[in-house]
Structure 1
Amino acid sequence: MKLSHMLRYIPLFFLGMYALSAMAIEPFVVKDIRVEGIQRTEAGAVFNYLPVKVGDTMDDEKATQAIKALYGSGFFKDVRIEVENDVLIVLVQERAAIAQITFSGNKSFPSDKMKEGMKQIGLSEGLIFDKSMLDRAEQEIKRQYLSQGKYAATVKTVVSPLERNRVAIAFQIEEGAVSKIRSINIVGNQAFESKELLEQFKLTTPDWMTWWSKNDQYSKQKLTADLESLRSFYMNQGYLEFNVDSTQVSITPDKRDIYITVNITEGEKYTVTDVKVAGEMLLPEDEARKLISVQTGEYFNRQKVTESSKAIGDRLGNDGYAFANVNAVPEVDKDKHTVGFTFFIDPGRRVYVRRINITGNTRTRDEVLRREMRQLESAWYGADKINRSKQRLERLQFFSDVNVETPAVPGTADQVDLNLNVTEKSTGSIMFGAGLSSAEGVVLGVTVNQNNFLGTGNRVSAQINTGRVNTVYSLSYTDPYFTPDGISRGFDVYRRDVDTSYLGTGTYKTSSYGTGVKFGMPINERDSLSAGLTFDYTQVNLDATSPGQYLLYCSGQLNCENTSLALNLGWAHDTRDNVLFPNNGVLQRANIEIGLPGFDLEYYKAEYKHSWYKALSKNFTLMLNGEAGYGASYGSKDFPFFKNFYIGGVNSVRGFETSAIGPRQPNTTTGTTFATGGTKRLLGNAEIYFPIPGMKDAKQLRLSTFIDAGSVYAADQDISLSDLRFSTGLGVSWYSPFGPIKLVLAKALNPKKSADGLVDDRTQLLQFQLGSQF
């Protein structure tokens, strides 16, 4: 009889490097396999890991492989193999399962978010308990608190056994106080005061804004970025050999205060002595030199060197050289403290775009994006065309993000693909406007817009204005690509009612109905023309207290009707880099509205607008805006008073009530006055936009400070700058998830009041517009 038949049990233990015990077995044919000790794990899972099946020959090597495989599954903390009468017996002891994970003491992070984080590193309810994963989770929690500046935070874990081979894990957290930076000391600076150098840092000691920015909380990443900003500052001032020798970050024993010391060596200032251009000169040397902003005789400036290399590379990119490389190689003379630069140009091979791939547009049709592309497939690569395409897509306001990549086509040296990935956002909005004045009370308005109707790029807009004085109902539809060449067509239908009786004055009521069609034609990338016709019917209702000029317009009657066919012509020039929050560029508009002869109204209104944007720095943008308007009648009747210009309010001269500036007429009934508007209009705005301190993203929310000036003038008045009204104040513009919100705190600087009450400007300190987006 074989030895294996004589042995009752042969235990094999998996120890160290999965070595078997000294006792070995002779090979035998497995008649059956039995698994013992499993509670949650299916027997079939064990059989899947075993390298032997019934009918196979079992030996020492396969026994070792079986133990390794079962341990490797992670389900078991102990594995033994026994043999009885040629039956292979696998005895296992399962690892405990996690039944519950709880957190206590965590105030900065919600428990549900922490559970999600634990799940990502393999620690979750229902999974097998692994001590190494628990240690990793504990370290990750500590790391998260350290990123918040809470260096005194402690994390303790308690593992409690439960019935049915389960455990409960409790994380007991003591967050502690936030550690603050108490001092940042720069050592070795001689050319600049420490105060000036610390202005280059985002990290700072506590001040009145750090509760919001958190910049008084230490972060290794922030310090690294600040040191690079310091290096750039010195490099841009000529200090070519500047170096950060060391940094020391120390924390007090109670882990509340942090002290940072930065040791630097400034070196000497270097002067640029020579600038050369070399390499493969595909550009004329004169043109290349014009792109170089580094000049001989001036101090070294790393930013100018970088910008010059980029400018030459971008210029070559416009001609198809997507992988052009421009290196500015310095020639340093340490004795004379001078440096010369040779810009070596390597244009590489000229490439073309094989395909344009668009992803991320789940609602917007592909054709809506492709028609905005200025870079074409199978055409030479053009960096300027790609940038312009990206700008046009961003200006659609259909997408919150537009990413462009140009990877090389594998296996080729002269082809790239243009990959566009967009992130869509809600393009429908409900805009609410509200105001409160002593004259008109609460004024409410709502405008519903869908700028990407059914993903076609067409615009649909409906407006309802429910003010007591002005009530407007309108519906418009615009197809921006009525023709493939980009000619747009739009239709408008409206009704406008004006009732000034709520002002407590004997004034007038009008009801206007109209419909129109308009066309737009692009001239080039920046300029466009527009033309349209609008048929309008307006009924004017007066009463005995109406002003004499209104009665005169209606020939002494209390009612009169007017029909008109208005021709609208316009021109626009737009170079803004962003429609919503521009930083650079110009917007010019000129429009003229003409009441065509043969109808009751024969008039014209001309308007011009010029807005100029200039980025003063990374965070500050200057906006200058000027507007002018002029209207007159060329027929037998006077200029229709209900076509007058008005000014004042949140979108013109802030700090004054809407339409409150300009000529006023007395109300003989109440003894007050009301604005009548005018046929001439002037408006000027100067505004500086900047982000909220500590706010990283200025694309959605920014502050501004402004000065406004403007007025309107009656037909019999000469334009006089002494009549301009001025205001100043602060504003907040926020493109929120609920739509655009504008909040203004303004002070009217020169409101006019006269003894006879004929000039009595009404002011508002707080004005706002808000929206809700769907």
Structure 2
Amino acid sequence: MNGRRMKPTMMSRVCLSLIYCAVLLTVCSIPFPAYSEEMQTPSAAGSNSIISRIIIEIRDLPRDDERLKAMAGNLVFLKEGEPFSEDRLRDSIDALTLANEFREIHVDSKEEADGISLFFQLTPLRRIKDITITGQAPLFEREILNAITIYSGDAFVREDLPKQAELITALYQREGFIRPNVTIPALKDENDGNFIINITIEKGAYYSFDDIVIRGNRSFSDTRLKFKMKSWRATLRPGSSGRFIEEDLRKDIEGLTSFYRSRGYADVTIDHDMKKNAETGSVSVAMTITEGPRYDITFTGNKEFWNMTLQKDLVLFESGNRNDLGLKRSIRNIRERYRKAGYLETRVSPVEDRKQEDEQTVRSIALVIDEGPQTIVGSITIEGNRTLDEEKIKGQMLTRLPGFMEKGAYVPEKLEEGMFAIKSLYTREGYNAAVIGETVRWSDDKRHVDITLTITEGLQTVISSAHIEGVDAVTREEAYDAIKLREGEPFRRYMIRSDENALAQLISEKGYPHVTVRSHTTVSKDTSQADIMYQVAEGPKVAMGEVYFSGNFRTKEKVLRNELELNKGEPFSLTKMLEQQRNIRNMNIFNSVRFKTIGLKENSDTAHLIVEVEEKKPYFFELGGGYESDRGLFAQTTVGDHNLFGTNKYGWIGGKISEIGYRGDMGLVEQRFLKTRTTLSLNLFAERLEEFNQEFGTKSYGASVGFTRKMSPSLTAGLSFSLEQREQYSLGSATGDEFQSRSILVTTPSLNYDTRDSFIRPTKGIFSYCSVDVSTGLRNSLDNFLKYRVDVRYYVTPFNRLTLAWLGRAGYISTYGSDGTVPKDQLFYLGGTSDVRGFDENLLRYDAAGDPVGGRAALSGSFEARIDLGGNFELAPFIDTGSVRRTFDGGGSDSFRSSVGIGLRYITPIGPIGLLYGHKLDRRDGESAGRFHFSIGYTF
């Protein structure tokens, strides 16, 4: 340091020792990042010294030096002109460390005539700007990133790179590769001093199944067992996709154990011996199966429950039966089931018979059930209740009299729960000393009980006064509105804590996060009155300080600041703080977001926020293809950027081609239009379409702009505008005004309600959509109409492997300002994969020539039962119906046409692939009996 260092006095030596110990404890207790941090403390500082100067120096000046210097100044809680404090120095070092911006923090001091000068020398850390990976196949990039401990935006520490190579190597070894080689060079970006990590993976050879020997399997063949093993089925795949993965073998053994148990072999054990040859890459596995006896369990004496119901209680076929523990648990489960049905004396006795069948031991166990009498509640009498009426009290009870959908079984545990609920009811009314007693009178045959509940209410405790002291941050009226225990209300002791919390939250939101509320209650001797005093200690007022972002190499800082709910200088609000954290986390451009608040723990008058983000890869490329019944062979591709120019805008260009035409799109989505919660979507498109069985085609191009806003987590409102140049052309010899080029302006308000648990594979919830197209022809009146659409779907899963799905759709066109004619390409058509299966595309209604007929009204409905078969397969019987009405040429019929059918789907991570067959219920002359449909994704 420059300047003469004064000789420390005895007092300063003591203070120096205290500072050193304090900082040492700080260093030991702080969870440091994975880089070394040099911390030196002032060489001399008297505890009563005044701080004359604070100098902050940033070493190795980066481009954002002023930002770092301002950050450091805000995070140093010592102030010039104030007495030096060891605690504040420790807090400052803690804050600078927590900020995760400096790899070295050096603090020194110098005693001068006017006080003590503090010198902070800070060396910024460098960050990982990007992580690129080559050679990762067959694994995905995300699997690699999940395996390592560094991430984009993290502090760069060169010493950590060998550890990352070890982690990736271990991952590939677990995935079956023998000697993978991983290199991780780091390249410095000279523009900003940060680093780009390049991970290169040379996978090398992999293990393959050479042989698997299964011994001891008498009941099931080798082939059947092997086909149940993922590790063995992999050998049927080519290349590295067929490699041997040890974890798969472990899961296969668990799966085979479960399979054996489900077939009655509850005592089965499977041992294996695995030998790997790293030189040849071969793996040999010898499995020894000890099947044990086959259990044949039957039930006798059961009248209340079916055998199928009692089978659910047999846990030995799921968890095994070592030392007969599974059988004993199963018997307990059966007895408990009977007890809940009112059979309080049920006995279950196992009667065993061992025998040999085809050289196999069969352990036949008959569970002999002596159900005993079922006890039914004959009457429920309430006595002693003066304040609460009998019906309200009985409403708290789980014990019921026999009636509609109620057997009236007597279960002592339910009676106890009901008495506790009645006690709670009285407590809510201020009767804190109420006593609930019960008398149960049994009939001689123990088949009926009469229950009498005797209630001793005691005195009601009423709040005679409620006072709040120590509040300045809010008005008296606001404070009293926050509490529920007010003068004249019943005294509920359990609500005191909630009132304390409500009052504290109210005051905390005004900028007092350190507020504490303590209550004191005085109850009169006769317990009829209670006085409550809430004592408030507001603590220091805290304002919102600076917000610092790191890791946002691409995302502009102003975009992140748009998500903030708190501005600098505003009273600190925990609710708004959490809200802005949710806002940033909900941005779809980050893999992870971490928040750190600095200043609250240190009791500072300002709280600063540190936000560390890990950006997603912004660019994407998608390519797909396949076959679907409604469009034939198809291919599609999309390229885009999820974070266009770092502005959180989503831009893309895409195209698709199929047997029915092609389409090109270019779009842009703005998540925060004009800094609001409204989403703006822009789209340019061009399309040529000739749908199956139609006698016309369409060419169109245009632009659309749409606005959507979430009104609630489930409800979304939308408004869109589209301008389209459209041309309908005949595929035959037809002519008319509708085949001329048309310019159309469409305004579409819409509402979307969605409570589904999954977009890809819903099992419960509701989806509904309604919209109105206000269409206006700019050159003619053919497109002057209102088109109404309603789509409602409902999903429920009554059983574990069964999902029921309903669909209802309706559409209606109402013309205005024209002769009532609507072009064919604007009408509704039904039939095909997307609505009424079993019919050809668009041919639910057709004319005498066999051409499709469209209408201004359409109704359709579908029902599916989706049955999970296991192994990612799903069986789906269905019934569809629909009707096309208000046609122009009168061909066909207005009546509903229906079909039934069944489908088989294979569930992939991105949705199902299905083959379905629909059979016409009202087949007409000349029609086929039905039709196959191949689809990707659910119909609804």
Aligning the two structures, in what range does the TM-score lie when normalised by the shorter sequence? 0.5 to 0.7
Is it true that 1:633 corresponds to 2:810 in the alignment?
no
Match of 1:607 in 2: 789
Q: Work out whether residues 743 and 777 of structure 2, in 8 Å CA contact, stay in contact via their aligned partners in 1.
A: no
Q: 1:509 to 1:598 in 2, by over 3 A?
A: closer
In structure 2, do the counterparts of structure 1 residues 246 and 333 end up closer, same or farther at CA, with 3 Å as the change threshold? farther
Alpha-carbon distance in 2 for matches of 1:530, 1:612: 22
Aligned to 2:776: 596
Checking the alignment, whether the CA contact within 8 Å between 1:590 and 1:607 is kept in structure 2 is yes
Cα distance in 1 for residues equivalent to 2:757 and 2:808: 19
For the residues of structure 1 that align with 2:452 and 2:661, how far apart are their CA atoms? 67
Who is 2:296 aligned against?
A: 183
- Is 1:444 aligned with 2:630? no
> What is the aligned counterpart of 2:376 among 262, 266, 271?
271
Q: Residues 538-594 of structure 1: CA distance to partner in whole angstroms, max 9, x if unpaired?
A: 133347x333xxx2234xxxx621111110111233344444444444333221111
> Residue 677 of structure 1 is aligned with which of 854, 869, 872?
854
More helix, by proportion: 2
d(CA) in 2 for partners of 1:753 and 1:199?
50
Question: What is the distance in 2 between the residues matched to 1:739 and 1:430?
Answer: 16
Verify: 1:561 aligned to 2:741, yes or no.
yes
1:687 maps to: 864
- Give the CA deviation at 1:608: 1.3
Query: Aligned to 2:740, what secondary structure does the other structure show?
Result: strand
1:243-273 deviation per Cα after TM superposition (whole angstroms, max 9, x unaligned): 6556869686955544344354534323345
Instruction: Note the C-alpha offset of 1:157.
Output: 8.4
1:552 to 731, 736, 748: 736
Residues 489 and 517, structure 1, Cα contact 8 Å, conserved in 2: yes
Structure-2 residue corresponding to 1:469? 660
Preserved contact between residue 231 and residue 252 of structure 2 (Cα < 8 Å): no
Distance 2:643 2:703 in 1: 21
Matches within 5 A, 1:69-84: none
1: CA distance, partners of 2:254 / 2:889 = 72
Residues 174 and 734 from structure 1, CA distance in 2 versus in 1: closer, same or farther, beyond 3 angstroms? Answer: closer
**Partner of 1:768 in structure 2?**
935
Contact kept in structure 1, 2:875 and 2:902, CA below 8 Å: yes
List runs of 5+ in structure 1 lacking aligned partners: 1-101, 121-139, 160-169, 205-214, 320-327, 356-361, 400-423, 667-672, 755-759
| Superposed CA RMSD | 6.3
Contact map agreement 1:232 1:302 (CA 8 A) in 2:
no
Cα drift, residue 183 of structure 1: 1.5
- The number of residue pairs the alignment matches comes to 543
Q: Are 2:381 and 2:451, in contact at CA under 8 Å, matched by a contact in 1?
A: yes
List aligned pairs for 1:726-745, cutoff 5 A: 726-745=898-917
Are 1:643 and 2:826 matched, yes or no? yes
Q: Does residue 1:434 correspond to 2:624, yes or no? A: no
Shift of 1:749: 1.9
Cα deviation per residue 1:618-668 (whole Å; 9 max; x = unaligned)? 4444333221111243244631221121222222111222222223473xx
Distance 2:373 2:392 in 1: 33
- Partner Cα separation in structure 2 for residue 589 and residue 541 of structure 1: 31
Q: Deviations over 1:127-146 (max 9, x none)?
A: xxxxxxxxxxxxx9999976
Q: Secondary structure of the residue that 1:197 maps to in structure 2?
A: helix
Q: Mark the runs of 5 or more structure 2 residues left unpaired by the alignment.
A: 1-209, 215-225, 233-242, 276-282, 429-435, 456-491, 514-551, 564-571, 591-615
Aligned equivalent of 1:538, options 707, 715, 726:
726
Instruction: Return closer, same or farther for 1:674/1:179 CA change in 2, 3 Å cut-off.
Output: farther
* Paired amino acid for 2:371: E
Q: Structure 2 vs 1, CA of residues 629 and 229 (structure 1 numbering), >3 Å: closer, same or farther? A: farther
Given residue 877 of structure 2, which amino acid in structure 1 is its aligned partner? T
Maintained 8 Å contact 1:647/1:658: yes
Aligned match of 2:342 in 231, 238, 258?
Answer: 238
Aligned counterpart for 2:698 among listed residues 510, 520, 533: 510
Q: 1:347 to 1:269 in 2, by over 3 A?
A: farther
Ranked by relative contact order (alpha carbons within 8 Å, sequence separation 6 or more), the top structure is: 1
Return the TM-score normalized by structure 1.
0.54
- Contact 1:203–1:226 (8 Å) recurs in 2: yes
Secondary structure of the 2:913 match is strand
* Alpha-carbon separation, structure 1, partners of 2:673 and 2:719: 14
Distance (whole Å) between structure 2 residues aligned to residue 277 and residue 114 of structure 1? 70
Identity of aligned residues (%): 18
The one of 782, 801, 804 equivalent to 1:622 is: 804
* Aligned residue number for residue 535 of structure 2: none
Whole-angstrom distance in 2 between the partners of 1:193 and 1:276: 37
1:742 Cα offset (Å): 3.4
Which residues of 2 match residues 394-413 of structure 1 at below 5 A?
A: none
Secondary structure of the 1:765 match is strand
What is the Cα deviation at residue 198 of structure 1? 3.4
In the TM superposition, residue 468 of structure 1 has moved relative to its aligned partner by 2.9
Contact 1:583–1:613 (8 Å) recurs in 2: yes
CA distance in 1, matches of 2:931, 2:654: 25
Match of 1:105 in 2: 213
- After superposition, the Cα gap between the structure-2 partners of 1:116 and 1:553, relative to the gap in structure 1 and judged at 3 Å, is closer
Indicate conservation of the 8 Å contact 1:431/1:739, yes or no. Answer: no
Contact 1:662 1:713 in 2 (8 A): no
Matched-pair contact (CA < 8 Å) for 2:784–2:816:
yes
- Identify the residue that residue 57 of structure 1 maps to in structure 2: none
Residue in 2 that maps onto 1:653: 836
Q: Is the 8 A contact 1:583 1:621 kept in 2?
A: yes
CA distance in 2, matches of 1:508, 1:300: 69
Name the stretch that deviates more: 300-309 or 573-582: 300-309
In the alignment, what sits opposite 1:716?
A: 888
Shift in CA distance, 515/332, structure 1 to aligned 2, threshold 3 Å: farther
The 3 A distance-change label for structure 1 pair 578 and 179 is: same
Change (3 A) 1:552 1:478: same
User: Residue 529 of structure 1 corresponds to which residue in structure 2?
Assistant: 717
2:148 paired residue number: none
Partners of 2:389 and 2:640 lie apart in 1 by 49
| Matched AA of 1:197 | L
Q: Residue 611 of structure 2 aligns with which residue?
A: none
CA distance in 1, matches of 2:573, 2:330: 43
